[in-house]
Amino acid sequence: MRNVPTILHLDMDAFFASVEQASKPSLRGKAVVVGGLGPRGVVATASYEARTFGVRSAMPMAQARRLAPHAAYLVPRFGLYRSVSEQVMALLAELSPLVEPLSLDEAFVDLEAGDTAWDEESARRAGAKLRADIRTGTGLTGSVGLAASKMLAKIASERAKPDGLLLIEPGTERALLAPLPVRTLPGVGPATGDHLRRAGISTVEELAEAGEDELVRLLGKAHGHALYAMALAHDERPVVAERETKSVSVEDTYDVDIHDRLRVGLEVQRLAGRCVRRLRAAGLSGRTIVLKVRRYDFSTLTRSETLRGPTDDPVVVREAAMRLLESVDTTGGVRLLGVGVSGLADYTQEDLFAQAAEEAADAASEETAAEPVEERPTAAERHWAAGHDVRHTEYGHGWVQGSGLGRVTVRFETPVSQPGRVRTFRVDDPDLEPADPLPLLSGGAEGAEGGPVVGSPSPSSRGTR
């Protein structure tokens, strides 16, 4: 392990909710909850204002609504989140060639590899500059941890939240870890944590005192050795710039169980199409098609089929997924469906028969029939998702506050305007169209109501993310 704190861990603060607050002036400083809004929806992210009411990630949305009934509940806008994430990751890449993204809002950086930091002072400067650059470029805040290992850097960023920086000085690691719960360490999930608790081990200090032999006896050789080393603050894992993608998959959870077998088949075909689009966007193909089915009783079945060679052909993937569905009993209803492709490669096995089938399908408009999501809906058919962007020919850019009973309520504001006014329209109003999100800190404010345009959100209006 290093003797200087040159591994940085960045964790953006309440990322999805913070992006929504930065995008919507009327929500700054307010409780915001992002996630699935159906009966089975779960919370993806809650703003810190919502967390004061007890709302947490992965909580059922129905429970969140009981805890914070006056919060703003929004459907995720993943395209915008990815765009902002790319901005943040570009700033990390300026620090070092070794950046290891863990998700859209979290990454490790090896500052030593970029010759950005070589001691405590330079590491602290690099972390402070990164936080300032993120705020300037996106209006968001991120928490930074600096330490001599990945484990400790991640612990430091968690303790720095929200909107802080913590550097763990070499030599202080054992003292910092000692009182922490064992669940703090990587690889200790609920099951392992309960197993250790039953053995009388609740803190990292108790873990170290138990000794390596006892941990091997309790957890097995590999896990026991690794956990004992971490309890002693030893973590030799390097920052890995490229993580190999092992599979590409998509899945949907349905608000109401699907009982109709024909509908289940159509959903599988639609998911297969989405999966292939994601596969092609990544420049990949795959040999193994995987179908996931979660039934009404929460039992989950997985079926797979391995092809002769890798493919990114939508017809081949659809047909394989449908063959897999034939072996699954969906009696009683289905609550979740997923289609994935693994055994990935960056080339395809040309299949002339599949190509011919795809051409025939295109000619017969099979693609359109199987994937209605690609059609442009009529005004009456549009689904106005809460939080999503719209544009009105007279009032300009806004976002959906809610819809129902044939009406849709829109607040007209932009990321760089004052909080805007609310208006209600028929859901089939021809002057109202879905729109793309606007950049968080630049332009796009023309035609929006809500007062004068400002250059960027002020620090006081951004609040804590």
Number of H helices, E strands in the chain: 16, 17
Q: Which two tokens stand for residue 322?
A: 């449908």
234 CB neighbour count, 10 Å cutoff: 13
- 3-state secondary structure at position 108: strand
Closest by Cα among 84, 65, 64 to 23:
84
Which helix or strand (DSSP H or E) is residue 191 part of? helix 190-198
Residue with the two structure tokens 């109003």: 429
Pairwise CA distance, residues 451 & 51, whole Å: 31
Q: What are phi and psi of 315, to 5 degrees?
A: -70, -45
Peptide bond into 162 cis (omega under 30): yes
Q: Which residues pair with 397 in a beta bridge?
A: 391
Non-local CB neighbours of 401 within 8 Å, separated by 6+ positions: 72, 386, 409, 410, 411, 422
Closest by Cα among 313, 321, 322, 307 to 352:
313
Of the residues 106, 267, 358, 371, only one is catalytic, namely 106
Residue with the two structure tokens 């806008």: 77
Q: Which residues pair with 161 in a beta bridge?
A: none
In the annotation, is 173 catalytic?
no
3-state percent helix, strand, coil for the chain, nearest multiple of 5:
40, 25, 40
- Indicate the DSSP class of residue 203: B
Reading phi first (left if > 0) and then psi (alpha if -120 to 50, else beta), residue 303 is in beta
101 CB neighbour count, 10 Å cutoff: 18
Q: Which two tokens stand for residue 337?
A: 């469906």
Pairwise CA distance, residues 154 & 102, whole Å: 11
- What is the edge-to-edge ordering of all strands in the sheet holding 32-35? 43-46, 32-35, 72-74
Non-local CB neighbours of 172 within 8 Å, separated by 6+ positions: none
Q: What are phi and psi of 96, to 5 degrees?
A: -165, 150
Closest by Cα among 371, 295, 275 to 336:
295
- 3-state secondary structure at position 101: strand
Active site residues: 106
